[in-house]
Structure 1
Amino acid sequence: MTTTENRPLTQNWPDAPTTSEGWIARAANVATLLAVDAVERDKGIAAPVHEVQLLKDSGLVTLLGPAEHGGGGQDWPTAYQVIRTVSTADGSIGQLLGYHLLWFWAARLVGTPEQIQAVEEAATTNRWFFGGAVNPRDNDVQVTEEGDQIVFTGEKSFSTGSRVSDVTVLEGALPDGQHVFAIVPSDTPGLSFHDDWDNIGQRQTESGSVSIDHVRVNWSDAAGFVDKKFQPRVYNTLNVPTIQLVFVNFYLGIARGALDQAASYSRDKTRAWLHSGFDKAIDEPYIIDIYGDLTAKLWSVEALADTVALEGKSIHDNAWNVTEQERGEHEVRVAAVKARATEVALEVTSTIFEALGARATASKYGFDRFWRNVRTHTLHDPVAYKRREVGRWVLTDELPEPTWYS
C-alpha cells in the first residue's frame, strides 16, 4: 500500500457554488489537492477511498443533482468542464467522477418520472457515489423473473468504481433479449467485486471484474419499466454520446495537465542543448515550436468539445421529445470530437518528452502516467469507427444507428 492510503484529503469547503464558474473553480481546488501526491498514488495499489470522499465533501458528486435536494443543479456542459479540470491533476479520479455523473444521470436516461424523482432525491441527499457493472463486450448478465422481483446473475469483466461505490448500476437481459438496468447498494449480498484491475494506466479507477450471484431487485426498480413493460423513447439512447463526451473531457484534461506540468519543468529544469547556442532551453526555437504546436492543437479540440457540449444541452433539456434526427446528428458531432480528442491527447502526452530532456524520464516526475492513462482508456472503442460515423454522414447523410458504442 502507498503511504497516501491514510492521508485524508480535507478542506473546509464553503457553501456550494451557485454558478457554473463557481463549480469549475471548485473543481480546480479539488485538482490542486489531488496533484500533491498524484505521482505517488499512481505507483500504488491503494483504493481511492479518500479521493472519492474528497469528491463528496466538495459537492462534485451532486453537481447534477436537483438544487431542492442540496445538489448543484448544473447541466452537462458544466459537468464536462468539471471532469476536465479534475483530470488535469489525476486522470483516474477524473474518470471516476465522469462515470459517476453518467450513472447518476441514468435514471433520467431510462427511468420513469417517478423513478427519476426518487433516485435523484436519494442520490443527492445521501451523496451516493455510483459505480457501474455495464460492459457490453461481455456476455449479458442473465435476468430472470420471480414474481414481483427480477434476479441478476452473471459476470462482468469491468466495473468502474466498484469497491469505492455506494451503489452500482447493474445491466442484464431478460430471456426475450430486453435489457434491464437497476441500481443496487454496492454491499448487496451476491455482488462480489474482484480486486484484479492491474493495467498500465488509469490505475485508481477501481475497474476490476465483478460477479453477480442472484442479486434480487423489485420489478418496480427496473428502470423505465411499467407493469413489467419497458417504455421506450429516443432519449434512452443518449447514454452513448453522453459518456463519449465524458471520455473526451478527461482525455483533454489529462493532456492539459501533461502540457502544463511539462511547461513548468521546461522553465525550471530543462537544460539548453550544449550545441544550441542558447543559455536557456525555453529560448531554443524547436522547444518553443513544440509548445506552440501542442497548445494550438489542444486549444482547438477544447473549443470543439465545448461547442458540442452546448449543442447537446438542448437535447438534454428536451429529453422527452428529442427526435431520432436530433440524436443522430449530435452523435456524429460527438464522434468527431472523440476522434480528435483521442489523437491530440496521445500526441501531447508523448511529444512533451521531446521538450523535457532525458532527466525528465525519472520515475519521480511521473510524466509517463499521462500517456499511460490516455493510451489505456482510448482503447475503449476503436477511434476509426468514430471517424467512420462522421464519414458516412458526410458522404451519404447516414446517421449512426444507436448501439452500445454509437
Structure 2
Amino acid sequence: MASNIVVPQAPSTSDPAVYQEYESKWTTYPTDAQGWLQRAKEVADVLSVDAAAREKANKSPRAEVALLKHSGLLKLLGPKKYGGGEQPWSVGYKAIREVAKGDGSIGMLLGYHLLWSRTAHVVGNDEQAERFQELIISNNYFVGGAVNPRDNDLKITYDDEKITYNGFKNFTTGAAVSDLIVLEGAIHDRPEEHIFAIVPTAQAGITFNYNWDNIGLRLTESGSGKIENISAPWADALGWDPVTKKPDPAVLGIPFPSLLLPTIQLVFSNFYLGIAIGALETAKKYTTTSTRAWPFGGDNKEKATDEFYILQNYGNWFAHLRAAETLADKAGDEADRIYAAYQNNRAALTPQERGDWAEWVASVKVVTTDTGLRVTAGVFEVTGSRATASKVGLDRFFRDIRTHTLHDPVAYKNRELGRYVLLGEIPEPTWYT
C-alpha cells in the first residue's frame, strides 16, 4: 500500500563556502569587550552587503551560521578555559545589536543562541552548567530552541533512566540549522512541573517543516517542528535531582531561574534597536547620495540635505535612538550586576530585585518597540519614492521589526510598568515577564 505520509523537505540552503575566507581571516578571537564589538561590526559589514538579496532568496541560513561560527561570536559569553570570550551579558547584548544593524535575522539568531547556550546556567545546577558550557563552547556549537510557550507544552514521559519528549511547536527559531536544541515540556502526570533539556538536533525524531515564509526575519528558520520520542538522561534534566526525580529546590525553588525571561526579553529589544539603527544608517546613505530636493514647495532647496523636514526627521529619530541605546545599556549593566552578584549565590536573589530588573527590561521593550517601528516606517519619508525600489531593500527593516514586535503584546508591558510605578507592584514571573 502506498504511503500518504509527506516528509518535509529542507529548502535550498545558503552555502557555507561563501564565507570560508573568514575562517582563516579570524584565526584568533578578541580579548576584550571593545575587540568583540569590533568583531560584531565586521560581521555586520559582511552581512549588510547583500542582506536584501539574501532575504529575498529566503534560503536556510547555514552560511550565515557558519559566518557566526568563524567570527567566534557564538562563544562570546563562554568561559575562557573552553575557548570562550568570557564577556558579560552587557557585551553580548551590544554584539546582538551590532549584528542586527547589518542583518536583523542574523542578529536575532545570535541573540537566541546566546540565551539558549546559557540556559543551564540559569535553570540548571552547577554541574550541568559547567558540563554544557564545555560541550557548547569547545565545539563551537550553535544552539536553537523549541520552547514556544503559546503552544501546548511538549509532553514528557519518564522511567528510571530517562525523560522522553513528544509534541509539536509552531516556532523553533534557529533549531533547523542548530547543532543542539533546547527542549522544554511538562510531565504528563504532573503538568505543573516543567523540565528543560539540551539534546543533539541531528537525530531521528526531530523533524522541521521548513515553513517559515513570513514577511520579516526571513532567515531565522522560525518555522514549526515535531518532536517524537526524543530522550535525555535524568542527569540532563536541568535543575532536577536525577536520584529523586524531582526538581532540586535549591535550584528551581527560588527566583533565580526566572531570570531566563527578562534575559531573553532584553535580547529582543537589542535586536529591535539594531534593526532600527541599521534602517537609519541605510536611509542616511541613500538620502545623501540619491534623494532629490522637492522643487515645488515655494522654498526650494538645492539639495535634499537642506530640506527642513528631512533634517527634522533625522534629528528626531537620532535623539530617540540615542535615548533607547542609553536605556538598553542601563538594563544590560543591571544584568551584569545581578548575574555577578547571584550566579554563585542564587538563593540570595529576592523577588523584589528580580522584579526591579524585569521592569528596566520592560521599559526597554516599550521604547525600542515604539521607536523602532516609527523609524523603520518613517525612513521612506526622507528618502523618497525611488527608495521603495526592491533593490534598495529599505523595507526589510520595517518588516523585520514589525514581525518580532508581535511576539508578545507591548500593551502588556505598558500595563505592567503602570502597575509598577503606580501601585509598586513587581510582575509575577511568567513565560513572558
Tell me the TM-score range normalised by the shorter chain: over 0.9
1:225 aligns with 2:255: no
Contact preservation (8 Å) 2:13, 2:60 = no
In structure 1, stretches of 5+ residues that fail to align are none
Match of 1:235 in 2: 256
Q: 2: distance between equivalents of 1:259 and 1:305?
A: 18
How far has the Cα of 1:14 moved from its partner?
Answer: 4.4
Contact 1:2 1:41 in 2 (8 A): no
For 1:61 and 1:7, locate their aligned partners in 2 and report how far apart those are by CA, in whole Å: 19
- The answer as to whether partners of 2:261 and 2:432 remain within 8 angstroms in 1 is yes
State the match for 1:312 in structure 2. 335
- Which runs of at least 4 in structure 1 moved beyond 4 Å after TM superposition? 1-7
* Match of residue 190 from structure 2: 176
Structure 2 counterpart of 1:27, one-letter code: A
Paired with 1:397 and 1:68, the residues of 2 have a C-alpha distance of 43
Give the C-alpha shift of residue 146 in structure 1.
2.0
Equivalent position amino acid for 2:149 in 1: P
8 Å Cα contact 1:47-1:204 kept in structure 2: yes
Residues 1:326 and 2:353 aligned together: yes
Shift of 1:333: 1.1
Gaps of 5+ in 2: 1-10
* Structure 1 SS opposite 2:264: helix
Aligned residues: 406
State the 1:389 CA deviation: 1.1
Residue in 1 aligned with 2:403? 376
Q: 1:197 aligns to what?
A: 212
Q: CA deviation at 1:325?
A: 1.0
Partner of 2:160: 147
Distance in 2 (CA, whole Å) between partners of 1:387 and 1:239 is 20
Q: 1:397 aligns with which of 393, 413, 424?
A: 424
Partner SS, residue 64 of structure 1:
coil
Equivalence for 1:295: 318
Partners of 1:166 and 1:186 within 8 A in 2? yes
- The answer to whether the Cα contact below 8 Å between 1:202 and 1:376 also exists between their aligned partners in 2 is yes
SS at match of 1:271: coil
8 Å CA contact retained: 1:2, 1:44: no
Larger displacement relative to structure 2 (184-193 or 84-93) = 184-193
Query: 2:306 is matched with which residue?
Result: 283
Q: Read off the aligned partner of 1:248 and give its amino acid letter.
A: S
Task: Quote the residue 1:67 is aligned against.
Answer: 80
Which residue is equivalent to 1:216? 231
Deviation at 1:6, TM superposition (A): 6.4
- Tell me the alpha carbon deviations over residues 313-369 of structure 1, each in whole angstroms, 9 at most, x when there is no partner: 111112313211110111111111101100000000001110000000000001000
> 2: distance between equivalents of 1:339 and 1:198?
27
C-alpha distance after superposition, 1:190-223 (max 9, x if no partner): 1111111111000000011010111111111100
Find the residue that maps to 1:8 and give its secondary structure.
helix
Are residues 1:185 and 2:200 paired? yes
Instruction: Find the partner of 2:103 among 90, 115, 130.
Output: 90
Distance 2:62 2:16 in 1: 9
Do the aligned residues in 1 keep the contact of 2:52 with 2:392 (CA within 8 Å)?
yes
Q: Secondary structure at the match of 2:190?
A: coil
Cα deviation code 1:31-89 (max 9, x no counterpart): 11111110101101211111101111110000011001100000100000000000000
CA distance in 1 between partners of 2:95 and 2:304 (Å) = 33
Contact map agreement 1:173 1:179 (CA 8 A) in 2:
yes
**Alpha-carbon offset, residue 2 of structure 1:** 8.1
Using the alignment, how far apart are the partners of 2:110 and 2:238 within structure 1? 22
Relative to structure 1, the CA distance from residue 290 to residue 122 in structure 2 (aligned partners, 3 Å threshold; closer, same or farther) is same
Among 28, 34, 56, which residue is 2:47 paired with? 34
2:126: which partner in 1?
113
Sequence identity (%): 50
2: CA distance between counterparts of 1:360 and 1:110? 47
CA RMSD of aligned residues (A): 1.2
| SS, match of residue 102 in structure 2 | coil
C-alpha distance in structure 2 between counterparts of 1:28 and 1:38, whole Å: 15
Distance 2:60 2:83 in 1: 28
Q: How far is 1:16 from its partner?
A: 1.1
Counterpart-to-counterpart distance in 2, 1:362 and 1:2: 26
1:277 Cα deviation from its structure 2 partner: 1.4
Cα 1:225/1:167, change in 2 over 3 Å: same
Matched, 1:264 2:285: yes
| Alignment TM-score, normalising by the size of structure 1 | 0.98
